């Protein structure tokens, strides 16, 4: 296993020099500047993850990193991920040795070697944010080592430890839930006879205990004890998951979706030429239940169940456990219990991959000519390693990943939304004007592709409008902002942007119209207060500017923006004394003294 560890280090060593990448802000923002003491780090156990989930184990690890180093260093975070991956592979090796009773060391060795370099697992290791998957997998393996021990009195304490580890696996990430099905069935098939009343009763009890832990964690801890977040979205009619399974009402549709989803995962595990940061149902469209695709998938799954039965009867334990483990742990990712984000997601397959590699290794090791077995396994290892090494380079940073994958995701709304956001961030940070404009044009292209898929959305129409605005095409900017307002007429940001476009294009009446519409929704917005006052004054309506601010102060004397505007008004009117008097009031109600254009003692 030392050689396997060195192999992992060589494969993932480049990540130590990588920057933060896609979605890493989900773990950096909750800790950046907020973790000053150990108590602050433990406080992460009471917070939701990305508003909608609960993954405190990895967040606590990031909190400790921040506390020790004073900031999150991407190189350190990547290195921790690599060390965790080595620990996962070692734990998987020990688990499989235990399952096979140390009777198939070569099969187990090839299994963990293939598992360690499987391309579909690259995201889990190379993405800092995906540390939650690593912890979940690690605790799952540790839990299983205790839970699969024979159901005897002397093992009760170990089983209790296994249940505790299972709880940690779940709060690391919920995709450890496959253990609920795997453990009781394993206890049935591991020893003979299978159909024994006591074994059935004990397995049923195990199933009940594991299910109740999972259910109560989800329903009580997440929804009752952990504060809920703001679930509002600007995406309009587009679902968060971009997955049609989210609106399937019939079991037959969900079953068809699950069968098809599993075929996609199998292709990504065994023939990994199409790995992306996101997919979406326009990338993978579910076929109808009555179709050749679903018929073929059904036949394949029936054959797999038949092979499982044959392996159990003929005591081919590695094969039967490989099939069982894959089915149990991939079930969570098949759009049955909950729709996946993007139809499929590479990281959700992680729990199932070691079992698939156990099945592949076991089948190839059954070839009578061992040289052929070794040759095929070696070819598979080289193939997986080369694909993984190439895929690792995609995760260097956000822009590298987007440049690699985005051209293949133009049928995915969410894929294009993510790409547009990354390109815009790169444009904002670029120093070179040519590069800045090039990234902005790429962001515009992605926004346009997203709007082709879902024209009726506020978010990407607003994005596209803002990109046109920055590129100086005011006519197109106005068109897209109005498209966004046609979906939701009460979006303050969109109304404000429209006001900005008309202001910049020297159309004060239209500018004032949209600023005032936004102001009617939020009368405490200082930006809108400043904008309205500025338009009034610059368009020659000085009395209106004066009266607008005086009215605000009359209603609420602590309105700092109104005092600030009056300061500028009197400064423009060359009444410095009155200007200073009003600027002092603005400072009193929150304005920074450094923002004042005149010296105030």
Q: With b meaning 16 or more CB within 10 Å and e meaning fewer, what string describes 405-418? A: bbeebbbbbbbbbb
Q: Tokens 């009197």 sit at which residue?
A: 570
Distance, CA of 427 to chain centre: 23
The first and second tokens of residue 322, run together, are 């490989």
Q: Taking residues 453-475, what's their average pLDDT? A: 91
- Domain count for the chain: 1
Q: At a CB cut-off of 8 Å and minimum separation 6, what does 333 contact?
A: 175, 261, 265, 340, 344, 345, 348, 349, 352
Q: What percent of the chain has pLDDT over 70?
A: 94
Task: Quote the crossing angle between the two packed helices 526-538 and 492-504, to the nearest 10°.
Answer: 30
Listed in sequence order, the DSSP H helices in 341-410 are 350-365, 370-394, 398-405
Q: Output the pLDDT for position 266.
A: 94
* Confidence at 396, pLDDT banded by 50, 70, 90: very high
DSSP state of 152: -
The answer to whether residue 338 scores a pLDDT higher than 80 is: no
Q: Taking residues 221-246, what's their average pLDDT? A: 53
* Confidence at 14, pLDDT banded by 50, 70, 90: very high
Query: 532 and 515 in contact (C-beta within 8 Å)?
Result: yes
Taking only the tens place, the pLDDT of each residue in 400-418 is 999 999 999 998 888 999 9
Query: 127 and 21 in contact (C-beta within 8 Å)?
Result: yes
CA nearest neighbour of 116 among 134, 104, 130, 132: 134
Count CA atoms within 13 Å of residue 579 on its CB side.
14
User: Which position has the higher pLDDT, 241 or 560?
Assistant: 560
Q: At a CB cut-off of 8 Å and minimum separation 6, what does 13 contact?
A: 82
**Model's pTM, two decimal places?**
0.86
3-state secondary structure (DSSP) of residue 49: strand
Residue 384: inside a domain:
yes
DSSP state of 222: I
The answer to whether residue 122 scores a pLDDT higher than 60 is: yes
Query: 84 and 135 in contact (C-beta within 8 Å)?
Result: yes
Maximum Cα–Cα distance for the chain, whole Å? 99
Q: What percent of the chain has pLDDT over 90?
A: 58
Q: Distance (Å, rounded) from C-alpha 199 to C-alpha 193?
A: 9
CA nearest neighbour of 7 among 116, 162, 94, 81: 116
Residue 236 Ramachandran class (φ > 0 left, ψ -120 to 50 alpha, else beta) = left
Query: 341 and 241 in contact (C-beta within 8 Å)?
Result: yes
Query: 488 and 469 in contact (C-beta within 8 Å)?
Result: no
CA nearest neighbour of 334 among 452, 236, 253: 253
CA distances from 138 to 86, 150, 163, 353, 403 (A): 10, 22, 14, 13, 32
Distance, CA of 233 to chain centre: 16
The answer to whether residue 118 scores a pLDDT higher than 90 is: yes
Q: Output the pLDDT for position 584.
A: 87
Residue 507: inside a domain:
no
What's phi and psi for 53, nearest 5 deg? -140, 180
* Confidence at 218, pLDDT banded by 50, 70, 90: low
Q: Distance (Å, rounded) from C-alpha 16 to C-alpha 78?
A: 5
Task: Quote the crossing angle between the two packed helices 370-394 and 105-116, to the nearest 10°.
Answer: 20
- For the ranges 30-39, 223-232, 496-505, 572-581, the lowest mean pLDDT is seen at 223-232
Q: Distance (Å, rounded) from C-alpha 496 to C-alpha 524?
A: 14
DSSP state of 246: G
Neighbours of 110 (CB within 10 A): 24
User: Which position has the higher pLDDT, 57 or 243?
Assistant: 57
Taking only the tens place, the pLDDT of each residue in 310-326 is 988 888 899 999 999 99
H-run or E-run covering 312: helix 292-313
What's phi and psi for 241, nearest 5 deg? -85, -15
Residue 239: inside a domain:
yes
Residue 53 pairs with which residues in a beta bridge? 49
Give Rg (Cα) of the chain. 29
Residue 479: inside a domain:
no
Residue 37, judged by CB atoms within 10 A of its CB (0-12, 13-18, 19+), counts as exposed
Taking only the tens place, the pLDDT of each residue in 522-561 is 988 999 999 999 999 999 999 999 999 999 999 999 999 9
Cis before 391 (ω within 30): no
For the four alpha carbons of 331, 335, 341 and 342, in that order, the dihedral sign comes to: positive
Query: 430 and 403 in contact (C-beta within 8 Å)?
Result: no
- 290: domain range? 2-227+235-394
The answer to whether residue 375 scores a pLDDT higher than 90 is: yes
Residue 49 pairs with which residues in a beta bridge? 53
The answer to whether residue 232 scores a pLDDT higher than 80 is: no
Q: Distance (Å, rounded) from C-alpha 529 to C-alpha 518?
A: 10
The first and second tokens of residue 300, run together, are 């394949």
Terminal-residue alpha carbon distance, the chain: 72
3-state secondary structure (DSSP) of residue 315: coil
What rounded mean pLDDT belongs to the chain? 88
The answer to whether residue 221 scores a pLDDT higher than 70 is: no
Residue 241: inside a domain:
yes
Angle (CA) 459 47 28, round 5°: 65
Q: Output the pLDDT for position 235.
A: 43
Residue 293: inside a domain:
yes
User: Which position has the higher pLDDT, 288 or 348?
Assistant: 348
Query: 462 and 494 in contact (C-beta within 8 Å)?
Result: yes
* Confidence at 502, pLDDT banded by 50, 70, 90: very high
Q: Output the pLDDT for position 231.
A: 35
Angle (CA) 129 169 268, round 5°: 60
- For the ranges 25-29, 93-97, 247-251, the lowest mean pLDDT is seen at 247-251
Q: Taking residues 149-173, what's their average pLDDT? A: 89
CA distances from 137 to 125, 165, 179, 312, 464 (A): 12, 11, 11, 26, 40
Query: 561 and 529 in contact (C-beta within 8 Å)?
Result: yes
Q: Output the pLDDT for position 271.
A: 94
Angle (CA) 328 207 253, round 5°: 45
Taking only the tens place, the pLDDT of each residue in 414-444 is 899 999 999 999 999 999 999 999 999 999 9
Q: Taking residues 343-370, what's their average pLDDT? A: 93
- For the ranges 70-74, 85-89, 453-457, 523-527, the lowest mean pLDDT is seen at 453-457
Residue 60 pairs with which residues in a beta bridge? none
Q: Output the pLDDT for position 198.
A: 73
Taking only the tens place, the pLDDT of each residue in 561-579 is 999 999 899 988 888 889 8
């Amino acid at each position: 296993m030392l050689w396997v560890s060195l192999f992992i280090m060589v494969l993932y060593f480049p990540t130590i020099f990588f920057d933060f990448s896609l979605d890493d802000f989900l773990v950096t923002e909750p800790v950046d500047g907020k973790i000053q003491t150990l108590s602050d780090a433990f406080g992460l156990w009471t917070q939701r993850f990305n508003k909608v989930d609960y993954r405190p184990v990895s967040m606590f690890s990031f909190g400790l990193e921040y506390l020790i180093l004073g900031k999150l260093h991407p190189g350190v975070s990547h290195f921790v991920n690599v060390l965790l991956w080595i620990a996962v592979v070692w734990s998987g090796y020990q688990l499989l040795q235990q399952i096979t009773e140390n009777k198939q060391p070569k099969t187990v060795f090839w299994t963990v070697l293939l598992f360690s370099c499987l391309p579909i697992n690259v995201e889990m290791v190379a993405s800092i944010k995906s540390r939650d998957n690593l912890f979940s997998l690690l605790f799952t393996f540790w839990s299983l080592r205790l839970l699969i021990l024979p159901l005897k009195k002397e093992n009760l304490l170990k089983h209790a430890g296994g249940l505790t580890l299972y709880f940690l696996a779940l709060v690391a990430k919920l995709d450890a839930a496959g253990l609920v099905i795997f453990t009781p069935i394993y206890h049935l098939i591991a020893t003979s006879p299978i159909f024994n009343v006591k074994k059935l009763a004990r397995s049923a009890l195990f199933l009940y205990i594991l299910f109740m832990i999972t259910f109560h964690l989800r329903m009580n801890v997440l929804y009752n004890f952990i504060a809920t977040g703001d679930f509002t979205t600007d995406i309009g009619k587009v679902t968060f998951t971009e997955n049609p399974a989210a609106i399937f009402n019939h079991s037959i549709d969900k079953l068809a979706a699950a069968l098809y989803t599993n075929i996609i995962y199998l292709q990504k595990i065994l023939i990994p030429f199409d790995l992306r940061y996101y997919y979406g149902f326009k990338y993978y469209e579910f076929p109808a239940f009555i179709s050749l695709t679903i018929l073929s998938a059904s036949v394949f799954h029936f054959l797999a169940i038949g092979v499982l039965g044959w392996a159990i009867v003929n005591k081919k334990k590695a094969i039967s456990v490989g099939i069982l483990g894959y089915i149990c742990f991939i079930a969570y990712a098949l759009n049955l219990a909950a729709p996946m984000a993007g139809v499929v997601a590479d990281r959700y397959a992680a729990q199932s991959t070691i079992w698939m590699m156990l099945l592949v290794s076991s089948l190839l090791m059954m070839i009578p000519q061992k040289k052929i077995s070794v040759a095929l396994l070696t070819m598979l290892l080289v193939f997986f390693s080369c694909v993984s090494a190439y895929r690792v380079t995609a995760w260097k940073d956000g822009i590298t990943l987007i440049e690699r994958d985005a051209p293949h995701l133009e049928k995915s709304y969410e894929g294009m939304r993510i790409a547009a956001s990354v390109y815009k961030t790169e444009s904002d940070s670029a120093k070179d004007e040519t590069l800045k404009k090039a990234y902005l044009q790429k962001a515009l292209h992605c926004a346009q592709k997203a709007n082709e898929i879902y024209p009726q959305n506020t978010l990407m129409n607003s994005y596209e409008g803002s990109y046109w605005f920055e590129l100086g095409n005011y006519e197109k900017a106005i068109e897209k902002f109005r498209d966004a307002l046609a979906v939701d007429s009460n979006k303050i940001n969109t109304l404000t942007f429209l006001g900005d476009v008309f202001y910049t294009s020297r159309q004060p009446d239209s500018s004032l119209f949209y600023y005032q519409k936004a102001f009617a929704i939020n009368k405490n917005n200082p930006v809108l207060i400043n904008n309205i006052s500025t338009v009034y004054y610059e368009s020659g309506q000085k009395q209106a500017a004066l009266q607008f601010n005086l009215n605000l102060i009359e209603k609420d004397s602590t309105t700092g923006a109104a005092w600030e505007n009056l300061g500028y008004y009197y400064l423009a009117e060359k009444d410095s004394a009155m200007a200073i008097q009003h600027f002092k009031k603005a400072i009193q109600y929150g304005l920074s003294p450094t923002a004042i254009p005149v010296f105030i003692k």
